[in-house]
A = this chain, B = another copy of it.
Amino acid sequence: MESKKTMPTNEHERFMRMALKEAQKAYKLEECPIGCVIVKDGKVIARAHNMRITHNSALSHAEILAIKKACKKLDSWRLSDCDLYVTLEPCTMCSGAIIQARIRKVYFAAYEPKGGAVCSCNDIFNIAHGHNHQVLFEDGVLQEESSNMLKEFFREVRESKKSKNKFPALTDEPNDLFLDLDS
């Protein structure tokens, strides 16, 4: 019997690199650099990056925007055979959205020690009840690349706080940074 075809590891890295490209777009917008792609049958069906400050919306995390696009693309609220690649461990809201959308598997790069809901501060995929659906996850895919980008971003934000020449939305209210991997 032929064994079930699985995606080679470097395929996951290839998709994570696409998510990192999305994160770079967020960086250029002076947003915390987080990117996401959603994959179905080996093809990217949605990509998005963090736009919280640009949209002035608490909901505009990369994962939420990507799920919205994927639902629209497939014309379905259910993304059952889809995998999600994101450059930072999802928060509670995004983990909940991933469950609601019935995403099959989540791959994330960097850990979020202050608010990561998948394994760092919580275990949402295992403890969220009421859904006949178990989201799988794999952590640390291209972790270093994502961590380095986030650290570089926060270093720039801190330096800008002194000179006040960039990141006005972030530097005016430093407590609103939703993570600081370097602290």
Contact = CB atoms under 8 A, between A and B. Distances in A.
A117 B121 contact: no
A67 B72 contact: no
Nearest to A115: B130
B56 A75 contact: yes
B58 A77 contact: yes
A174 to B, nearest CB: 11
Contact of A128 (B64, B79, B99, B117): B117
A28 interface: no
A124 to B, nearest CB: 6
Interface of A: 52-53, 55-61, 64, 67-68, 71-72, 75-79, 91-97, 99-102, 112, 114-117, 121-122, 124, 127-132, 175-176, 178-179
